[in-house]
Amino acid sequence: MPEASPAKWHLAHTTWFFEAFVLARAERRFRPFHPRYAYVFNSYYEAAGPRQPRLERGLLSRPPLEDVLRYRADVDARLAGAFEAGLAPELVDVAELGVAHEEQHQELLLTDVKHAFSVNPLRPAYGSPPPPSGAAPAPLAFLPREGGVVEIGAPGEGFAFDNERPRHRELLQPHALGSRPVTCGEWLAFMGEGGYRRPQLWLSDGWAAVASRGWEAPLYWERDGAGWLQFTLGGLRPLDEAEPVAHVSFYEADAYARWAGARLPTETEWEAAAAGAPEDGTFADGGRLHPAAARAVQLRGDVWEWTRSAYAPYPGFRPLAGALGEYNGKFMVSQLVLRGGSCATPLGHARPTYRNFFYPDARWQFTGVRLARDT
């Protein structure tokens, strides 16, 4: 799959990030661990030099994992030495960015492994199958929220990615948000009423994707006679209707919302509701690595939630200087914002202001649906 990378590439790329953006500036006599690793493990930083094409990462049988782990140990030791010697404040900030960058790749490792295992004919499992919920979800309710001027975005202090800033004001209209994400059982009802066969529910590009790719269910769902199985990081197991639906594209989320007489929330609506909301969802730290049964009221965790907001710069946005300015800013086109974190997201990474973003046809992440309505 074009979006996925080999596991050892993730390990080496996050190591290269620290080597290229911290050690290269911190060490007086800097020498890279290997003169060609910058080409192999650069991702998309044009200003940092040429790189291996993304679609060809999986073709590299070398370096072997043992060499990648030695590379990682070497850079870790040198980085620790740089901190002990007194790292310049601006490089401390870059190192903190590198830690957050590594958390992103921890999540990508899990979702990339899941996709690779799902298309492996041996159907291997990463871990134990997630236990079933054993209970029906709470009924979906729409919680009214007032309109008015709100502030969103990360404050000036503390860590945040550049795309989360600056904090600024937005105008909200009165609306209502779904109390929890849409469940697999509710998605089955959508499918049962011909959701994937009714073009009037779909955006034009979405209907074209349904037709060209043969979508008839979320990614990783498989028919089992009259029922459905779902591929998880623990292998195949029966679909649990109480869990939030995952691995649906923006197009599917939008079509479902239209079928349900609702819409997707804006990212401003989502963030205004998330301010002060508890971290009561399922995150990677718990080890389940799969959505848990939907709770009565839940805003964060389990599945990333599509919004209808285009991924665009906030008013006054300024990218970071140099090659690091390519981290987020150059992707602010043709993508949609997701919020909330998923069961594969490290808990410390899932701030209410965090802006995830994907193309509208993406399905390999744990992407789900929250509904909204105008009031």
- The domain segmentation of the chain, as residue ranges, is 7-118, 142-374
DSSP string, 100-131: HHHHHHHHHHHHHHHHHHHTSTT---SSPPPP
Distance of alpha carbon 114 from alpha carbon 4, whole angstroms: 10
**Contacting residues for 369 by C-beta, under 8 A, at least 6 apart:** 181, 182, 244, 245, 248, 253, 256, 257, 264, 303, 305, 306
167 Cβ contact partners less than 8 Å away, ≥ 6 residues apart: 151, 152, 153, 154, 155, 156
Closest CA to 178 of 365, 340, 336: 340
Q: How far apart are CA 328 and CA 319, in angstroms?
A: 8
**Which residue in the block uniquely carries the two structure tokens 């493990």?**
41
Residues 26, 33: contact at Cβ < 8 Å?
no
pLDDT of amino acid 1: 85
Q: At what angle do helices 250-259 and 184-192 cross, to 10 degrees?
A: 70
pTM: 0.97
Q: How confident is the model at residue 195 (pLDDT cuts 50, 70, 90)?
A: very high
Residue 234 confidence class, pLDDT cut points 50, 70, 90:
very high
Q: Percentage of residues in the chain with pLDDT exceeding 90?
A: 93
Of 145-159, 272-286, 328-342, the least confident: 272-286
The predicted structure's pLDDT at residue 135: 84
| 179 close to 140: Cβ distance less than 8 angstroms | yes
Over residues 366-371, mean pLDDT:
98
Between 193 and 326, whose confidence is greater?
A: 193
In the predicted model, what is the mean pLDDT of residues 339-367? 96
Helix boundaries (H) for 180-275: 184-192, 204-213, 250-259, 267-274
Residue 350 is predicted with a pLDDT of: 87
Mean pLDDT of the chain: 96
At the top level of CATH, the class of 142-374 is: alpha beta
Q: Match 């509904």 to its residue by tokens.
A: 371
CA 130 to chain centre: 20
Alpha-carbon gap, residue 290 to 287, rounded angstroms: 9
Alpha-carbon gap, residue 351 to 277, rounded angstroms: 11
* Tokens read off for 300: 């964060």
Task: Check whether 26 has a pLDDT greater than 90.
Answer: yes
pLDDT tens-digit map of 127-164: 999 999 888 898 999 999 999 999 999 998 999 999 99
Alpha-carbon gap, residue 292 to 344, rounded angstroms? 12
Of residues 278 and 250, more confidence is placed in 250
Contact in structure between 144 and 374 (CB atoms under 8 Å)? no
**In the predicted structure, residue 24 carries a pLDDT above the cut 90:** yes
Kindly tell me if the per-residue pLDDT of 226 is higher than 90: no
Q: Which residue has the tokens 């919302």?
A: 257
CA distances for 350 relative to 271, 308, 344, angstroms: 12, 19, 11
- DSSP notation for 280-293: -S--GGGS--SPPP
pLDDT digits (tens, 9 = 90+) for 44-102: 999 999 999 999 999 999 999 999 999 999 999 999 999 999 999 999 999 999 999 99
Give 280's pLDDT tier (boundaries 50, 70, 90).
Answer: confident
Q: Are strands 221-224 and 227-232 parallel, antiparallel or unpaired?
A: antiparallel
- Among residues of the chain, what percentage have pLDDT more than 70? 100
On the question of pLDDT at 204 being above 90, the answer is yes
